[in-house]
């Protein structure tokens, strides 16, 4: 009985101490000109708070106090390098983790034709999908093509006929701003012999769980074996009905895309 009583006395004391004293650090700011690059690029991390340091990883692992301490810009040269960064300090609860993935240029593209986007989000000209600019999660950035129609078609021609295996598409996911990943993406390759397009790969994407904030999400569509072609066609089905967990449920969602790569 005494034991029981005691634990009741101790508990609230401990809880109130920790609740009052603990503030969480805000996440660090990851600064870069674009997530797309041709040879190499660099990342600067901004975050100054006395008593805290920024730790980062380049191997997709969660940063800890054993990870690299950020002191100077990080150089990136490998495709799909993900940098994860976190602010940690003795007096604080560690920040949430900020993350960015860098994408290297693929095969040279001659031109890309695409469905006309909404007038508000026209991107920045005819090469907007292969100009190596983008990856900024602010929707009003002029690298994004924004769509609120049902289907979007993107047709691209490579500079030369090549053996290809994958197509990468970079989307914006900003669900609070009604910008969702598409329902379905399909890539087709042009078969010269039959003078027709054939399926390369397709993917269905569900949005059952809510994601917070705004971030870039790339999707890689890959075929089982390499294919020789110079033309790719991509069909994107925009989410027609926002899921029921969202305040905008039932409305047509937006789809934002800023870059296409072929590997």
Sign of CA dihedral 53, 59, 64, 67: negative
In the bound state with another protein, the residue whose beta carbon lies nearer, of 27 and 63, is 27
Buried b (16+ CB within 10 A) or exposed e, 88-107: bbeebebbebbbbbbbbbbb
Closest CB to another protein among residues 15, 163: 15
Select 92 or 218, whichever has its Cβ closest to another protein: 92
Question: In angstroms, what is the minimal distance from the CB of 235 to another protein?
Answer: 31
- Residue among 73 and 213 whose Cβ is closer to another protein: 213
- How wide is the angle at C-alpha 69 spanned by C-alphas 63 and 75, nearest 5°? 90
Per DSSP, the three-state class of 93 is strand
CB of 217 to another protein, least distance (A): 17
Q: Is 216 helix (H, G, I), strand (E, B) or coil?
A: strand
In the bound complex, what is the minimum distance in angstroms from residue 26's beta carbon to another protein? 4
Shortest distance (Å) from residue 146 CB to another protein: 16
How many whole angstroms separate alpha carbon 168 and alpha carbon 107?
11
Closest distance of CB 141 from another protein, Å: 12
Tally the C-alpha atoms within 13 A of residue 113's C-alpha that lie toward its C-beta: 5
Q: Is 177 helix (H, G, I), strand (E, B) or coil?
A: helix
- Which residue lies nearer to another protein by CB, 47 or 121? 47
Shorter beta-carbon distance to another protein: residue 184 or 215? 215
Residues in contact with another protein by CB under 8 A are: 2-3, 6-7, 10-11, 14, 18, 21-27, 29, 46-49, 52, 87, 90-92, 95, 138, 176-177, 212-214
SS3 (DSSP) at 166: strand
Q: CB of residue 49 vs another protein: minimum separation in angstroms?
A: 4
Beta strands per DSSP E along 138-183 = 145-147, 151-173
> Which residue, among 141, 127, 207, has the nearest Cα to 173 in the 3D structure?
207
């Amino acid at each position: 009985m005494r034991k029981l009583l005691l634990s009741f006395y101790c508990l609230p004391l401990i809880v109130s101490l920790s609740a009052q004293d603990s503030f969480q650090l805000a996440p660090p700011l990851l600064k870069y000109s674009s997530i797309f690059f041709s040879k190499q690029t660099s990342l600067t991390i901004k975050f100054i708070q006395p008593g805290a340091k920024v730790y980062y990883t380049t191997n997709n692992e969660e940063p800890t106090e054993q990870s690299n301490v950020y002191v100077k810009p990080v150089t990136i040269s490998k495709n799909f390098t993900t940098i994860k960064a976190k602010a940690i300090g003795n007096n604080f609860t560690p920040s949430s983790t900020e993350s960015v993935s860098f994408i290297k240029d693929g095969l040279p593209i001659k031109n890309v034709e695409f469905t006309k986007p909404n007038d508000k989000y026209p991107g920045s000209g005819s090469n907007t999908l292969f100009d190596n600019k983008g990856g900024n999660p602010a929707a009003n950035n002029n690298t994004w093509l924004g769509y609120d129609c049902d289907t979007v078609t993107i047709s691209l021609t490579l500079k030369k006929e090549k053996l290809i295996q994958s197509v990468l598409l970079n989307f914006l996911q900003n669900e609070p701003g009604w910008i969702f990943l598409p329902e379905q993406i399909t890539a087709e390759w042009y078969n010269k012999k039959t003078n027709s397009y054939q399926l390369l790969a397709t993917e269905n994407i569900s949005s059952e769980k809510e994601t917070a904030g705004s971030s870039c999400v790339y999707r890689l569509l890959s075929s089982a074996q390499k294919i020789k072609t110079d033309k790719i066609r991509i069909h994107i089905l925009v989410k027609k009905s926002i899921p029921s967990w969202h305040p905008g449920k039932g409305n047509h969602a937006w789809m934002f895309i800023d870059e296409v790569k072929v590997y």
